[in-house]
Amino acid sequence: MDLKRTALGIELGSTRIKAVLIDETHTPIASGEHEWENRLVDGLWTYSMEDIHQGLRACYAGLKRDVKEKYGVELTAVGAIGVSAMMHGYLPFDRDMKQLAAFRTWRNTVTGRASAALTELFGFNIPQRWSIAHLYEAILNGEEHLERLAHLTTLAGYIHYELTGRHVMGVGEASGMFPIDSGVCDYDRRMVEKFDALIAPKGYGWKLRDVLPEVLPAGAAAGTLTEAGARFLDPSGDLLPGIPVAPCEGDAGTGMAATNSVRVGTGNVSAGTSDFAMVVVDKPLGVHREIDMVTTPAGAPVAMVHCNNCTSDINAWAGLFADFASAVGVELDRGALFTLLFKKALEGEPDCGGLMSYNYFSGEGVTNLDEGRPLFLRAPDARMTLANFMRTHLLSALATLKIGLDILTGEEKVEIQKLYGHGGFFKTPGVGQTMLSAAAGVPVSVMETAGEGGPYGMALLAAYMVWRDRDETLEDYLENRVFRDAKSSSLTAGKADIDGFNAFLEKYVKAMPVERLAAQVL
C-alpha cells in the first residue's frame, strides 16, 4: 500500500472520536476510534484538555493498529490530513496559547442575552451555541480573562493549530463562529464593524478580527504537519512531519461532504447525539430563531436546523433494557439490542398510541428552552406497548427538527426534493429513514458509506485539497469522482406514517408547557 496515496480524516464527535483512512478511489480502508463523553462541570457542558489530547491519541493509535493488522505496514505518512469536530462553542487562549477558560461546547444554552442582542444588532440569527454569542455573553458577564484574549477558536480550530501552528479554519466551521459573507468567503465585514463598535467602550486591546481564525475555502492550503504536531498526534514518533493539512471543518460541513450534499438544492440530516438538517439554498432567507445560516465547505449559503438533543434519551432507555435483560440472565450485544428496539418501532401505531416523550437532556434553541429534562408521559387510556414506546422515542428524537423544517418549507418556501441521512440514527436499515421521511415528507436516502459519517467527509475534503484538478470545484469533485457510482438505498414513508407524525407533533407542541415546568421544578 502506498501511504502517500491515502487521505486521513479525523472527527471529534460528541460521543466518539473517529479516524478514517481512504485510498485514491475514496474507499475507506482503515479506521480507529475512541469513545468519550462530555461532562457537566459548574453548570457547563465541557471536555477537559486531558480528555481531548488522550482521546485524539487513542483514536489515532487505533488507526495505526488497524493499518498494521490489515496491511502489515507502519503508518508513518499519508497524502493529506484533515480534522473536524463539533461546531461552535468557546475556546479562548492568550498569546502563548494558554487556555483562559474551560471549553464551553455547543450543548450549552447559557448565552440567551447575547444571542438576542446580537440577532437584533446584526439582523441575522445568532444561535446561543455560536462562538460569537459565547464571547459576547462573557463580555456582558465581565469575565476577567477577556483582557488577555488573543485567540478565539473551536475544538477543530484548536487541534488544527496543534498540528500546524496556524490559526486558520474552513469557511463552514467559521460560519458557526460568526456570520459569513459567501460573496467573499470571509466574515461579514459590516457585522464585524458593528460588533467592534458595540464593545469599544470596554477598552479591550483587541478587535474581533484580531482574535478570530483566518477563513479558508475547501481545497486551500492550510499548513503542513509540524514536528511538534506529529508528536502531538502520535507520541510514538512513527508519524513524519511535512504532510499537507486541509482547512479544518465542522461536523456539519463534513456531513455535507460525506453525503454529496454541497450543491444548491441538496440536503442532508445528521442524527446522533444531536441532529441537524442542512439544505443548500440560493436565496437569502428571513430571520428565524429556529434556522441558522451557515455555509458549505466551499462557502455556499446553507439553511441549518440544529437541535441539541437526538439519541441520548434513546441510549438511556436502551441501557435500561440491557440491565433488565442481564437481570434475567440474557446478555445482549449492544448493536443487536439497538437493532431489535429500532425494528420494534416500525410495528408501533403511526401516532404512537397516546404516548409522548421529550428527549431534552440539555436546553434546546429551536423550542427556546435553556435547560432540558427527559420526560415520558402517557394518557391513562394510551396503548402502552414496546412498539409504541420505541416509536415515541424515535419520533421525539426528530420532533424538534421537524418544527424547524416546517418553517423552512412553509414560511420560506424552500423546496426539498430529497434528504440524505447519516449518523447512528440510521444504522438499523429502513427504520431511521422511515421516521425521517415521515417527518420531512420527502424521500430519504442512505449511502453505503453513511456509517463512516463525518470523518469520511473530512477525509474527502483532505483528498480534494491534494488530488483535485486545478479548476475543479468541490461540487464537481464529489459528484464526478467520489459519488458517481455510489450505492444508496432510498425510502419514502407512506401517508399513514406522515399523518401519524403530524398528529404526534401537534400533541408534542401542545404539551410543551409540561417540559418547561419540569425544567423549573426538577
Task: Determine what percent of the chain is predicted with pLDDT higher than 90.
Answer: 87
Q: Is residue 8 part of a domain?
A: no
Judged by DSSP in three states, 350 sits in coil
How far apart CA 175 and CA 183 sit, in angstroms, is 13
The partner residues of 216 in beta bridges, in order of sequence, read 170
CATH, residue 346: 3.30.420.40
Closest by CA position to 460, among listed 174, 265, 218: 218
Which of 35-49, 250-264, 344-358 has maximum average pLDDT? 344-358
Q: Is residue 405 part of a domain?
A: yes
Cα four-point dihedral sign 194, 195, 196, 201: positive
Mean pLDDT over the full length of the chain: 95
Q: Is residue 248 part of a domain?
A: no
Contact between 172 and 253 (Cβ < 8 Å): yes
Q: Residue 65 — very low, low, confident or very high, per pLDDT cuts 50/70/90?
A: very high
Indicate the Cα dihedral angle 455, 461, 462, 463, nearest 10°: 110
The greatest distance separating any two alpha carbons of the chain, rounded to the nearest whole angstrom, comes to 67
Q: Is residue 410 part of a domain?
A: yes
Residue 450: pLDDT above 70? no
Q: pLDDT digit string (tens) for 217-276?
A: 999 999 999 999 999 999 999 999 999 999 999 999 998 999 999 998 889 998 888 888
What size, in residues, is the chain? 522
Q: Is residue 261 part of a domain?
A: no
Q: Is residue 316 part of a domain?
A: yes
Q: pLDDT digit string (tens) for 465-494?
A: 999 998 999 999 999 999 998 888 899 999
Q: Is residue 495 part of a domain?
A: yes
Full domain range(s) for residue 413: 312-447+489-521
Q: pLDDT digit string (tens) for 2-22?
A: 899 999 999 999 889 999 999
Split into its structural domains, the chain has a count of 1
Residue 449: pLDDT above 80? no
Name the residue type at position 188.
D
